Structure 1
Amino acid sequence: MFDKKRVSRLKWACRRGMLELDVLFMPFVDEAFDDLDESQQLIFERLLTCDDPDLFAWFMGHQKCDDPELAQMVEHILNRVKV
């Protein structure tokens, strides 16, 4: 479902205005995105449409994401970083 062009767009969308988000998203899309199943890839793509302040708050633990799918993806990315 994700051809090279779509993955290239995802990589571009991973380039955020905040270094804290860049260091999470860029390695994730380069190293772990292909290991996600199709539904998880779509959730990750949707996560990238969220506003930077919300993403920052979720990833830094200042706020809980109300969307269960997005919250699970945030947790997945954070768990990968901890390993």
Structure 2
Amino acid sequence: MIDQTELNRLFWQSRRGMLELDVLLVPFSREVYPTLDAEDQRRYRKLLACEDQDMFAWFMEREESEDEDLRRMVRMILDRVQPK
């Protein structure tokens, strides 16, 4: 089980100061992260360790990460907000 301290820390790490990232990551950290399995939670924390410029390029689908874990997490976040 995830404790509130960890959730608060992840919320603040998800706030990047770049609106395009904040609108994706902040709601995801609040609404979805607690429901993820341990492996996907690890992937999300790994994503948060990345540079903002890299994440911006991935989320805008201009580039794709070479790391399979990061590609999976980016896709999971984008699938949540993109119309089908």
TM-score (normalised: structure 1):
0.94
Percentage of identical aligned residues:
47
Structure 1 contact 15–26 (Cα < 8 Å) conserved: yes
Number of equivalent positions:
83
What is residue 50 of structure 2 aligned with on the other side? 50
Displacement of 1:35: 1.5
Counterpart for residue 66 of structure 1:
66
Q: Alpha-carbon deviations, 1:22-53, whole Å to 9, x = none? A: 00001111111112101100110110010000
Equivalence for 2:41: 41
Quote how far apart the aligned CAs of 1:64 are: 0.7
Tell me how far 1:17 sits from its aligned partner.
2.1
Q: CA deviation at 1:2?
A: 3.0
Q: Which blocks of at least 5 consecutive residues in structure 2 are unaligned? A: none
**Which aligned runs of 4 or more in structure 1 are off by greater than 3 angstroms?**
none
Where in structure 1 are there 5+ consecutive unaligned residues?
Answer: none
Q: CA RMSD in A?
A: 1.1
- Give the TM-score of the pair, scaled to structure 2: 0.92
